[in-house]
Structure 1
Amino acid sequence: MTAWLPLESNPDVLTKYIHKLGVSKEWEIFDVVGLEPQMLEWVPQPVKSIILLFPISETYEKHRAQEHEKLSVDPGVFPDDLFYMRQLTSNACGTVALIHSLANSKSISLEDGILKSFLENVKDLTPEERGKALENDKSFTEGHHELAKEGQTVADPEEKVNHHFVALINKNGVLYELDGRKEFPIKHGPTTDETFIQDAAKVCKEFMARDPDELRFTVMALSSV
């Protein structure tokens, strides 16, 4: 597996990244400093995606295995226009989470550039083929590495990364968890544009509840300025 430099959970760096990919300057990545209702009110609206960075613990891996076993029997039915891809490149989870966030929001227009070209090229591919296409995309690789170097910590592609990015989105009134390490999207029940951030916060709390002694969680929002 090819290894990229890990991205830092830095809203400024990730905002610069999505603009480099061709996203309008009206959209930015913001820190979500708290998951209680009064704290969520501070997040600029509309929120199109919640991006969660969490530690990959033994408890989480056990949960993931149980979840996979259940979904392998009945993964469910998903919308034809739900964009989903596998992560086949080590340390690419940040980029995959951003792609999942941007590709599934019709209200976010893309200028001609890296992401628009990639999405056009992979629209008819399987999730696995999309992951392979990302791994072989030189423009994405170069852009990812350039932004990874702008973090506050020194990035090392050989360093074992124990954290993982996933995206939470609202697609046709259903809250989905999109994680490139999983074979299927995960449904987390109904949601609306008005309640999405509160519903996504509940999912984030579920992640945290599985590892109550762990403090290394970061929550960010893709929102309009």
Structure 2
Amino acid sequence: MGDDTGNWCLIESDPGVFTGLIKGIGVNGVQVEEIYSIDKETLEDLRPVHGLIFLFKWEGRNPASTPGSQAPIEYDNDKVFFAQQVITNACATQAILSVLLNSPSIDLGEELTNFKSFVSDFPAELKGVAITNSDLIRTVHNSFARSDPFINEMNDPGSKEKEDLFHFIAYTPINGQLYELDGLQEGPRNHGPCPGDSWLEKVGPIIQARMAQYAGGEIRFNLMAVVDDRIKVYEEKKASYEAQLAALQQREGPEAGGWLKGEIENLKQDIVKEEEKRMKQQRENKLRRHNFVPLVYELLKGLAQEGKLEGLVEEGRIRAKAELESARQRKTAAAASAGQGGSTGDNFGEDVDMYE
């Protein structure tokens, strides 16, 4: 785990990790939800949405060529928080900050509020340096690194193993304009006006256009939304319905308001599900920090002593070969479909954790 300004660890593309990171730096009242489709119904269920965080494979080309976008423009440094990424592996946290620090309705907490005020007059590059030098932000980021020596070796600059690189950017409305915030660019990109909440309808085609630039077999995209605390949202709705029900029953009697009773029960169930999800995320975050290599080593040693290891290894090789062949066939079929004019769709694939 990194402990200096030059060492930021890889973290997973996971809503539980991002929610924990946000809470760790002192921000209140928001969480991160993974989105599997950018259809209107999905986004409506999550309102209010403060911003979207999009992960894609980094190919080293200039994303300014994205259809429907503009090159970095002159922008008001006082109204748009934009920081250039100056350290490897920081893009996930930087994308999150791009949403948080451009959303006036979010309670940033004391530390991040002071940080925003301190860097407000800095140019983009110095803002990036300030993020890198923030003990709080770096420490919280690195606290979500997986305790796995193999990951550290794989990402050693001297290692011959090369992994695909992935990068995060943010989309968020600022002063009635939809902005794309990419720390690897010189400045933000303005995708045009988006009055009210219309930015969610506007951003969908922009993300789809970026996805369409990749070969048909590329499915490794990930999209997450920064939204209000779901339990708080559900509790506020429940309180509103309960007040309406009480007023209705006072006028019409205790049997009135059947649909309100149903909505209240549904919200109670939503609250329970959200509480269970949070407990699961907290458990998973704890497991990420635990190094299981010594346990696995002892298990393998025991299997070897009992003469069972060789057979299990061979069985694993056969299964892995079959899975690789299946993946190859799926990729070939997807490429053929794309070549025949098939759509890339608006669904998002697996989680990945190798970031530029």
- Using structure 1 for the length normalisation, give the TM-score: 0.85
- Which consecutive segments of 4 or more residues in structure 1 shift more than 2 A? 36-42, 62-67, 75-80, 115-118, 148-151, 153-161
Which is greater in Rg? Answer: 2
Residues of 1 paired with 2:191 and 2:174: CA distance? 11
Matching of residue 50 in structure 1 with residue 52 in structure 2: yes
Contact between 1:22 and 1:110, CA under 8 Å: does it hold in 2? Answer: yes
What 5-or-longer segments of structure 1 have no aligned partner? none
Residues of 2 paired with 1:148 and 1:206: CA distance? 32
Matching of residue 118 in structure 1 with residue 115 in structure 2: yes
Residues of 2 paired with 1:52 and 1:190: CA distance? 20
Alignment deviations for residues 143-200 of structure 1 (CA, whole Å, 9 cap, x no partner) = 110023389x956653756100111010111100001100010111221332222222
Residues of 2 paired with 1:65 and 1:211: CA distance? 13
Residues of 1 paired with 2:49 and 2:122: CA distance? 28
Higher strand share: 1
Contact between 2:100 and 2:106, CA under 8 Å: does it hold in 1? Answer: yes
Residues of 1 paired with 2:33 and 2:202: CA distance? 18
Pairwise CA RMSD of aligned residues?
2.6
How many aligned residue pairs are there? Answer: 215
| SS of match in other structure, 2:109 | coil
Q: What is the aligned partner in structure 2 of residue 32 from structure 1?
A: 35
Q: Structure 2 vs 1, CA of residues 133 and 209 (structure 1 numbering), >3 Å: closer, same or farther?
A: same
Alignment deviations for residues 91-121 of structure 1 (CA, whole Å, 9 cap, x no partner) = 10011111110000000012223x2332232
1:40 to partner: Cα distance: 2.9
Q: What is the aligned partner in structure 2 of residue 5 from structure 1?
A: 9
% same residue = 29
Matching of residue 145 in structure 1 with residue 147 in structure 2: no
Contact between 1:4 and 1:157, CA under 8 Å: does it hold in 2? Answer: no
Matching of residue 220 in structure 1 with residue 195 in structure 2: no
Residues of 1 paired with 2:62 and 2:128: CA distance? 24
Residue identity opposite 2:57 in structure 1 = P
| SS of match in other structure, 2:36 | coil
Q: What is the aligned partner in structure 1 of residue 82 from structure 2?
A: 84
Higher helix share: 2
Residues of 1 paired with 2:227 and 2:214: CA distance? 28
- Using structure 2 for the length normalisation, give the TM-score: 0.55
1:46 to partner: Cα distance: 0.2
Which is bigger in relative contact order (C-alpha 8 A, separation at least 6)? 1
What 5-or-longer segments of structure 2 have no aligned partner? 158-162, 231-356
Residue identity opposite 1:132 in structure 2 = V
